Structure formats: structure tokens, C-alpha cells
Amino acid sequence: MVLLWQVLANGILLGGLYALMALGLALVWGVLNIVNLAHGAFIMLGAYVCYYLFTVFHVDPFAALPAAMVVLFVVGYSLQRNVLNLIIRAPMFNTLLLTFGFEVVLTNLAQMIFSADYRTINPSYAGANFNLFGATIPLARILAFTTGLLLTSCLWFFLLKARLGRAIRATAQNLIAARLYGVETRKIYAITFGLGAALAGAAGDLYGLVSQINPYIGGSLTAKSFAICIIGGLQNPLGVVVGGIFLGVVESLTALYLGPTYTDVASFGILVLVLVLRPTGLLGRTA
């Protein structure tokens, strides 16, 4: 029973981070209709920003979080403004391919600059943990979990209330009407993509805190983020939280009961099932 609770707690904590990972992908997908295959590479870059700030300038990973977000925002904004905007109206396949091209370029640049070595970020509290109803909870993980949820709710309020957030939602709903009301779509697209990248940067910063990093982590993180978006649905940020926690719990439970080699079977099997049975996500409205 204690073991089960421990595994559940691990899964939920992992899920908070997963939610933040998928959030940026869901935002870009929902608003721009771009499935960004470079999303994992953005997460990887965020992790390296955190790593270098920590090892070279001794900046705490949580203090480095805004820096990672700003750097990735700039990367995302300029990629959308100068490249993606040129083909945004082409068939969906071209945007998919283009972002794959970004992935290849970023991963290989990272390998040339940062080397392929595994890196870890070890702040003084890395080993600290506390006991919650018998389960051991690492401090870094619960901090990452809370930050993830906090950023997710910030984004929700931003989209709901802020003028810019409403312009983004308007663009997603009806491009032509938004344009007629004076929304500058080119800029909104770039800002949205930049925001998505910034969220990936934040996720990467926290990912570096709880796991090892190298330039190649991007691919599998993109796949996971996909799965979460599908399970949760794209309608609102809450879906991503549910999807993230769901995936985290499923992965932990499968690792416990079926063995670690089955985690991918379980998570992606569920993804296929959800797609076929409920294409709008677990929380989505039925058509």
C-alpha cells in the first residue's frame, strides 16, 4: 500500500512537469495549427541555459527560469517571424517538415557547442526530501511540480483576461475577423510561437533539475508532449494538466506492475486508444 502510494506520488509529481512540457506545444498547435516537432529541442535548450547559468554563474535553477524563458522566447519569436510565417498557409505537411528541420539544426548545433556528454544540475537541495503519509517526496520535484502548475494557471489567466491573450484567442478562432478588428496577425503568430518556446524553456529548466540532460533528449520529449496534448485535448490548459498527470501516473504504475520495458507500450497504446475512441481528448466535448 505504501509502495502504491509512493508510486502514485511519483507519477503525479512527474505529471506536473509533463503538463508544463506539453503546454507550449498545445498553445502553438491550438492557435497556429502547427505541430512543432522542434518543441523537444526547445526544452533541451532551456535545460542548457539553466545548466550554464548554474555551473558558470552559480545561479539557482529557479532564479534561472525567467532567463531560460526569455532566451527561448527570442529564439521562438525570430523563427516564426522570419521563417515559419513564410509558409504558414502551405499544407500542414510543410510546417511539420519545417519544424523537423529546426529540430535537426538545433540538436546538431547543441551537440557541436555543448558536446554530447550527459550533464546534471545539482543544487545544494538536490538530495533533500521529506515524508508525506509514508511516501518520500524529493524537494526539487515538488518545487518543479508547483512551478509547472503555477505557470500553467498564469497562461490560462493571460489568455482569458489580458488584451494580448484575447488577441491570440481571437486569431485562433477566426483569422479574418481578428484581422478586421485590427489584430496584427504576423506579430501575434510570432508572439504565440515565442510564448510556446518560452514555456518549453521553463519546462527544460525544471527538467534539468530532476533528470540528466544531453542534446538528444528532444525527440522523446516531443513525443511525450504530443501524447499529453492528445490525452488532455487542446481546448484549455486544464486539459494539459490532466493529460500530464495521467501520463505520469500511468508510466509509474506500468513500471511497477508490468516492468519498465512496458512504459512506452502503455503510454502510446493509451494515446492510440484515446485518439480512436475520443479524438477530442479525455476532457473534450463529444462531437
Buried b (16+ CB within 10 A) or exposed e, 166-194: ebbebbbeeeeebeeeebebeebbbbbbb
- Interface positions, 201-220, toward other proteins (CB under 8 A): 219
Measured from the CB of residue 180, what is the shortest distance to other proteins in angstroms?
A: 15
Lookup result for grid cell 529564439: 75
Q: Is residue 274 a contact partner of residue 281, using CB atoms and an 8 Å limit?
A: yes
* Secondary structure string (H, E, C) spanning 118-166: CECCCCCCCCCEEEECCEEEEHHHHHHHHHHHHHHHHHHHHHHHCHHHH
Tell me the number of residues near other proteins by CB under 8 A: 45
- Residue number with CB closer to other proteins (236 or 263): 263
Which one of 151-159, 198-206, 243-251, 266-274 is the stretch in contact with other proteins (CB under 8 A)? 266-274
What counts of helices (H) and strands (E) characterise the chain? 11, 2
Identify the residue among 230, 240, 241, 247 touching other proteins (CB under 8 A): 230
Q: How far is the CB of 253 from other proteins (least distance, A)?
A: 16
Residues 78, 129, 185, 236: which binds other proteins (CB under 8 A)? 185
Buried b (16+ CB within 10 A) or exposed e, 54-93: beeeebebbebbebbbebbbebbbebbbeebbeebeeeee
Answer for which of 27, 67, 197, 227 binds other proteins (CB under 8 A) is 227
How near is the Cβ of 286 to other proteins at its closest, in Å? 15
Choice between 92 and 160, CB closer to other proteins:
92
Distance CA 17, CA 12 (A): 9
Q: Which stretch binds other proteins (CB under 8 A): 68-76, 137-145, 152-160, 222-230?
A: 222-230
Cβ 48 to other proteins shortest distance, Å: 17
Residues 66-125 that bind other proteins (CB under 8 A): 83, 85-94, 96-98, 100-105, 107-109, 112
Instruction: Answer whether 66's CB lies under 8 Å from 46's CB.
Output: no
C-alpha cell at 47: 535545460
* CB 272, min distance to other proteins, A: 5
* 186 HSE (CA, 13 A, CB side): 7
Q: Which residues bind other proteins (CB under 8 A)?
A: 29, 35, 83, 85-94, 96-98, 100-105, 107-109, 112, 185-186, 189, 219, 223, 226-227, 230, 261-262, 264-265, 268-269, 271-272, 275-276, 279
